[in-house]
C-alpha cells in the first residue's frame, strides 16, 4: 500500500444476516488529500461500505485497512479520531439536550481540553450558521439544520478523513453552497473527504474521483469527467449527469467540436462563447 | 369553460401562522388557489414556511398542532377549521421529508395496507391497492421486507406508496425525492405526472430539485420568510433569475447558462430563457450548427 492511500479495502464481504449480503467482494483504495464520491443506485451498498471505514461495521470476510492497520485492531477512540462519519439520517446521531453539548460530546470523549472544546464549538456553530439555535434541543431543529448540526459535530473533531453521507439532502441553495465550499476548503487543507451522494451537481463540483456501486459491488472507479460520458456505467448505476453535462452530450452529437465531458456551467459557457460572439 | 368555485382544490386566504414559542410569523398573509389536477411546486429557502404550509393544507394545523392561525384554508370549498383530521385525510395525503418517521410496520406490505385497513376497505381491495402502489413506486418484490432495513431511497418510495394507496384527491409531498438516486428522482416525478394525468390528482410538491420542477409542474410558488413572493408558471418564475438569486434560490442549470450567455450577447434569448433540457437543446442546436 502506497503512502498516499489512506484506506484500503480488500475483498470485503458483508452480510447483515444470513439472507442479506450487502457487500459482495469489494476492493478499493481511498487516496489521501482528495475528494472521493461514492455513488450509485439506492440500496447498492454505499453506506454499508463507508461504515467499514471508521469501524462501525466490521467485515464478514475480507479486510479494511486504515493507514495500513486493520480496523479490527484499532481502539475505537483511535479510529474515530482519524475517520469521522456523519450519518445519512442525522436523527441517528443526535442525542444530547442542546446543540453545544452535541458538538462538544465527541471532543470530550477524545479528551480535548475544555477551553479548546469551547473554542471549537463556537467555531463550528458559526461556520454552520447555527447561531440562532444556541441552547436549543437538537431534535427541535428542522431536518436541514439537524443535518448541519450532525456535520458540525463530526467536523469539530477534526478527523483526518471526513465521511459525509448524503450531506446535501434537504439543503437549500445556501446550505448546498456552504457544504460544497466546506468540502473544497478541507481539501485545500489536505484533508481526505469521502462523500456518499446522489447529488450529481455536487459530484461535478467537488469530486476528484468517483467510486460507482451496484448490487454490493464496485463497477467503476474513475474521474467524474470520464464517468459522466460513460453511458454504460451511468445506465447500470441509475445515474444521470448534471443537466449541463447532458446538454453538452446532446450538442456533441450534432457538432463534435463541443466536448462531451463538460462538468460545470462555467466550462459550458466558455465553449459556447465562440458561437455566440462574432 | 368557466372555472367554478368547485374547481379549486385548495383556496388559501390571508393565512397567517405563528408557533407559540416563536417571535416570528411562520406564515404571513398568504393567499393563493390551486386548481384541480394542477401540479404545483413550492420552493424557497430553509425556514421559509414550506412545511408549515403543507401542514395547513393537510389540516394538521390547526387541529393537531397548537398555533395561532388567522385567515382560512379551504379544501374543495370546505374550511379546514370546519372539517376534521380523519375527514381531511380521506382527501389529502401527505408524504413527509423524513420517511423513516412515517414508517411503523414490520413489513412493507403491512406498511402500505395500514392506512387502507383504517379506511375499512375489503381485504381484496386492500391487496389490489397495495400491489398497485408498490408497483407505481418500483417496490414490487419487497412485500415481506422490513421497512426499517430498507435503504433511505427505498424508504422514501415506501412512504409515497403508503399515501398514494389511499387514493387522495390532493397529494402533498415534502421533498419526496431527497434520498433517491438520479433515476429514482426521475421515476418519482414521472409517477406523480402519471397520477395527475390518469387519476386526476392535484399534486403539491415541495422540492429543491428545480430542474425537475421546471419540467413537470404547471405552477411554482416561491416562499420567502413566511411570505408568498411569487406564484406563476415555471417559465415565468425561472426567467426571474436575479429575483430568485436575491432570495438565495437558484434556477435550472440550462437557465443559468443561458442567462450568463445573454449578458455577453443581449440578442440571445431576448424574449425568454430556456428552462428545460429539451428547450435548451433546441435553442443551442441551432446556434452550434450554423452560428448566429
Q: What is the mean pLDDT of residues B44-59?
A: 94
Q: Distance (Å, rounded) from C-alpha B99 to C-alpha A105?
A: 27
Q: What is the mean pLDDT of residues B33-54?
A: 95
**CB distance B184 to B177 below 8 Å:** yes
Question: For B230-239, which contacts have Cβ atoms below 8 Å and span 24 or more sequence positions?
Answer: B231/B32, B234/B41, B234/B275, B235/B272, B235/B275, B238/B210, B238/B214, B238/B273, B238/B275, B239/B272, B239/B273, B239/B275
Q: Could you report the per-residue pLDDT of A73-109, keeping only the tens digit for each?
A: 999 889 988 999 998 888 888 888 999 999 999 999 9
Centroid of chain to Cα A145:
18
**CB distance B82 to B258 below 8 Å:** no
**CB distance A250 to A260 below 8 Å:** no
Residue A181 and residue A263 in one domain: no
Instruction: Give A109→chain B minimum CA distance, Å.
Output: 29
The answer, yes or no, to whether the previous bond of B62 is cis (omega within 30 of 0) is: yes
Residue B290 and residue B222 in one domain: no
Q: What is the mean pLDDT of residues A239-268?
A: 95
CB of A236 less than 8 A from some CB of B: no
Residue A246 and residue A222 in one domain: no
Which residue in chain B is spatially nearest to A147 when comparing CA positions? Answer: B98
Between A142, A237, A247, which is nearest B277 by CB?
A247
Residue B152 and residue B275 in one domain: no
Instruction: Give A205→chain B minimum CA distance, Å.
Output: 13
Between A20, A176, A265, which is nearest B257 by CB?
A265
Q: Distance (Å, rounded) from C-alpha B134 to C-alpha B155?
A: 12
Residue B130 and residue B247 in one domain: yes
Residue B33 and residue B173 in one domain: yes
* Angle in degrees, 0-180, between the axes of helices B123-136 and B108-118, rounded to the nearest 10: 130
CB of A270 less than 8 A from some CB of B: no
Residue A231 and residue A246 in one domain: no
- Selected residue of B151, B244, B275 to mutate for chain A interface (largest A Cβ count, 10 A): B151
Task: Give me the pLDDT at residue B290, please.
Answer: 60
Between A41, A173, A258, which is nearest B288 by CB?
A258
Query: Is the predicted pLDDT of residue B262 greater than 60, yes or no?
Result: yes
Give me the domain span that covers residue A219: 5-238
Q: A118 φ, ψ to 5°?
A: -60, -45
Instruction: Give A10→chain B minimum CA distance, Å.
Output: 24
Residue A177 and residue A46 in one domain: yes
Q: Do B46 and A142 touch (CB under 8 A)?
A: yes
Q: Do A276 and B287 touch (CB under 8 A)?
A: yes
Q: Give B225's contacts in chain A (Cβ within 8 Å).
A: none
Which residue in chain A is spatially nearest to B264 when comparing CA positions? Answer: A277
Residue A189 and residue A51 in one domain: yes
Residue B159 and residue B289 in one domain: no
Helix intervals (H) in B200-251:
210-216, 234-238, 241-246
Q: Distance (Å, rounded) from C-alpha B251 to C-alpha B265?
A: 20
Task: Give me the pLDDT at residue A101, please.
Answer: 94
CATH number of domain containing A85: 3.40.50.300
Task: Give me the pLDDT at residue B291, please.
Answer: 47
pLDDT-derived band at B1 (thresholds 50, 70, 90) equals: very low
State the burial class of residue A215 (Cβ atoms within 10 Å of its Cβ: 0-12, 13-18, 19+): middle
Q: Give A269's contacts in chain B (Cβ within 8 Å).
A: 257, 260-261
- Count of domains for chain B: 2
Query: Is the predicted pLDDT of residue B6 greater than 60, yes or no?
Result: no
Residue B286 and residue B243 in one domain: no
Query: Is the predicted pLDDT of residue A1 greater than 60, yes or no?
Result: no
CB of A268 less than 8 A from some CB of B: yes
Q: Could you report the per-residue pLDDT of B114-161, keeping only the tens digit for each?
A: 999 988 899 999 999 999 999 888 899 999 999 988 877 788 889 989
- Selected residue of A237, A253, A272, A278 to mutate for chain B interface (largest B Cβ count, 10 A): A272
Task: Give me the pLDDT at residue A43, please.
Answer: 83
Which residue in chain B is spatially nearest to A270 when comparing CA positions? Answer: B261
Residue B178 and residue B233 in one domain: yes
Residue B89 and residue B216 in one domain: yes
CB of A243 less than 8 A from some CB of B: yes
- Count of domains for chain A: 2
Residue B214 and residue B257 in one domain: no
Residue A9 and residue A75 in one domain: yes
Q: Mean pLDDT in chain A? A: 93
Which three three-digit cell numbers place residue B233?
408558471
Return all residues near A198 (Cβ < 8 A) that are at least 6 apart.
Answer: A39, A42, A166, B153, B179, B180, B181, B182, B184, B185
**CB distance A148 to A177 below 8 Å:** no
CA nearest A166: which of A196, A136, A144, A141? A196
Q: Could you report the per-residue pLDDT of A14-33, keeping only the tens digit for each?
A: 999 888 899 999 999 999 99
CATH number of domain containing B48: 3.40.50.300
Q: Distance (Å, rounded) from C-alpha A103 to C-alpha B79?
A: 44
CA nearest A37: which of A208, A231, A161, A169? A208
Instruction: Give B27→chain A minimum CA distance, Å.
Output: 16
Return all residues near B81 (Cβ < 8 A) that are at least 6 apart.
Answer: B62, B72
Q: Do B257 and A268 touch (CB under 8 A)?
A: yes
Task: Give me the pLDDT at residue B177, please.
Answer: 86
Q: Do B289 and A41 touch (CB under 8 A)?
A: no
Q: How many residues make up chain A in this entry?
A: 278
Q: What is the mean pLDDT of residues B180-204?
A: 86
Residue B10 and residue B145 in one domain: yes
Give me the torsion for CA of B190, B173, B207, B277, rounded to 10°: 10
Q: Give A20's contacts in chain B (Cβ within 8 Å).
A: 149
Instruction: Give A265→chain B minimum CA distance, Å.
Output: 6
ipTM entry? 0.88
State pTM to two decimals: 0.89
| Radius of gyration from C-alpha coordinates of chain B | 20
Q: What is the mean pLDDT of residues B249-276?
A: 96
Return all residues near B90 (Cβ < 8 A) that are at least 6 apart.
Answer: B119, B166, B168
Residue A217 and residue A250 in one domain: no
- Selected residue of A173, A201, A264 to mutate for chain B interface (largest B Cβ count, 10 A): A173
Residue B259 and residue B192 in one domain: no
Q: Do A172 and B249 touch (CB under 8 A)?
A: yes
In chain B, helix, strand, coil percent, each to 5? Answer: 45, 20, 35
Q: Could you report the per-residue pLDDT of B266-275, keeping only the tens digit for each?
A: 999 999 999 9
Residue A92 and residue A181 in one domain: yes
Residue A155 and residue A267 in one domain: no
Return all residues near B235 (Cβ < 8 A) that are at least 6 apart.
Answer: B272, B275
Give me the domain span that covers residue B283: 252-292
Query: Is the predicted pLDDT of residue B89 greater than 70, yes or no?
Result: yes
Q: Could you report the per-residue pLDDT of A105-147, keeping only the tens digit for each?
A: 999 999 999 999 999 999 999 999 899 999 999 988 888 889 8
3-state secondary structure of B143: coil
Task: Give me the pLDDT at residue B189, please.
Answer: 87
Amino acid at each position: 500500500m502506497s503512502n498516499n492511500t489512506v484506506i484500503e479495502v480488500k475483498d470485503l464481504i458483508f452480510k447483515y444476516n444470513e439472507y442479506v449480503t450487502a457487500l459482495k467482494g469489494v476492493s478499493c483504495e481511498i487516496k489521501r488529500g482528495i475528494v472521493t464520491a461514492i455513488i450509485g443506485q439506492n440500496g447498492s451498498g454505499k453506506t454499508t461500505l463507508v461504515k467499514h471505514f471508521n469501524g462501525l461495521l466490521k467485515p464478514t470476510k475480507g479486510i479494511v485497512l486504515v493507514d495500513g492497520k486493520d480496523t479490527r485492531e484499532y481502539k475505537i477512540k483511535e479510529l474515530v479520531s482519524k475517520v469521522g462519519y456523519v450519518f445519512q439520517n442525522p436523527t441517528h446521531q443526535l442525542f444530547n439536550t442542546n446543540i453545544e453539548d452535541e458538538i462538544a460530546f465527541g471532543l470530550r470523549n477524545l479528551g480535548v481540553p475544555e477551553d479548546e472544546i469551547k473554542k471549537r464549538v463556537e467555531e463550528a456553530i458559526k461556520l454552520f450558521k447555527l447561531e440562532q439555535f444556541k441552547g436549543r434541543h437538537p431534535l427541535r431543529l428542522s431536518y436541514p439544520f439537524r443535518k448541519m448540526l450532525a456535520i458540525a459535530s463530526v467536523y469539530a473533531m477534526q478527523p483526518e478523513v471526513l465521511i459525509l453521507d448524503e450531506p446535501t439532502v434537504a439543503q437549500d441553495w445556501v446550505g448546498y453552497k456552504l457544504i460544497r465550499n466546506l468540502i473544497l476548503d478541507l481539501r485545500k487543507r489536505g484533508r481526505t473527504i469521502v462523500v456518499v451522494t446522489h447529488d450529481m451537481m455536487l459530484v461535478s463540483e467537488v469530486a476528484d474521483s468517483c467510486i460507482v456501486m451496484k448490487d454490493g459491488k464496485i463497477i467503476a472507479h474513475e474521474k467524474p469527467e470520464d464517468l459522466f460520458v460513460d453511458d454504460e456505467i451511468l445506465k447500470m448505476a441509475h445515474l444521470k449527469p448534471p443537466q449541463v453535462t447532458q446538454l453538452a452530450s446532446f450538442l456533441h452529437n450534432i457538432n463534435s467540436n463541443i466536448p462531451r465531458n463538460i462538468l460545470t456551467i462555467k466550462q459550458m459557457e466558455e465553449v459556447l462563447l465562440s458561437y455566440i460572439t462574432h | 369553460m368557466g372555472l367554478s368555485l368547485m374547481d379549486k382544490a385548495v383556496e388559501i386566504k390571508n393565512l397567517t401562522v405563528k408557533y407559540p414559542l416563536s417571535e416570528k410569523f411562520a406564515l404571513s398573509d398568504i393567499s393563493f388557489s390551486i386548481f384541480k389536477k394542477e401540479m404545483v411546486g413550492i420552493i424557497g429557502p430553509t425556514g421559509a414556511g414550506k412545511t408549515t404550509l403543507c401542514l395547513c393544507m393537510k389540516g394538521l394545523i390547526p387541529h393537531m398542532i397548537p398555533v395561532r392561525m388567522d385567515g382560512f384554508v379551504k379544501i374543495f370549498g370546505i374550511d379546514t377549521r370546519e372539517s376534521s383530521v380523519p375527514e381531511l385525510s380521506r382527501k389529502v395525503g401527505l408524504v413527509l421529508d423524513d420517511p423513516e418517521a412515517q414508517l411503523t410496520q414490520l413489513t412493507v406490505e403491512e406498511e402500505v395496507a395500514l392506512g387502507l385497513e383504517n379506511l375499512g376497505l375489503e381485504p381484496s381491495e386492500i391487496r389490489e391497492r397495495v400491489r398497485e402502489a408498490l408497483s407505481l413506486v418500483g417496490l414490487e418484490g419487497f412485500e415481506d421486507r422490513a421497512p426499517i432495513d430498507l435503504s433511505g431511497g427505498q424508504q422514501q418510495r415506501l412512504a409515497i406508496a403508503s399515501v398514494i394507496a389511499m387514493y387522495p384527491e390532493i397529494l402533498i409531498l415534502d421533498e419526496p425525492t431527497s434520498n433517491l438516486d438520479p433515476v429514482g428522482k426521475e421515476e418519482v416525478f414521472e409517477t406523480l405526472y402519471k397520477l395527475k394525468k390518469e387519476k386526476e390528482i392535484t399534486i403539491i410538491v415541495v422540492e429543491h430539485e428545480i430542474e425537475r420542477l421546471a419540467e413537470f409542474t404547471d405552477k411554482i410558488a416561491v416562499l420567502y420568510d413566511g411570505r408568498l413572493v411569487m406564484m406563476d408558471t415555471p417559465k415565468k418564475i425561472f426567467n426571474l433569475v436575479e429575483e430568485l438569486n436575491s432570495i438565495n434560490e437558484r434556477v435550472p442549470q440550462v437557465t443559468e447558462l443561458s442567462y450568463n450567455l445573454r449578458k455577453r450577447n443581449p440578442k440571445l434569448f431576448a424574449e425568454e430563457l430556456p428552462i428545460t433540457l429539451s428547450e435548451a437543446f433546441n435553442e443551442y442546436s441551432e446556434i452550434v450548427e450554423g452560428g448566429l
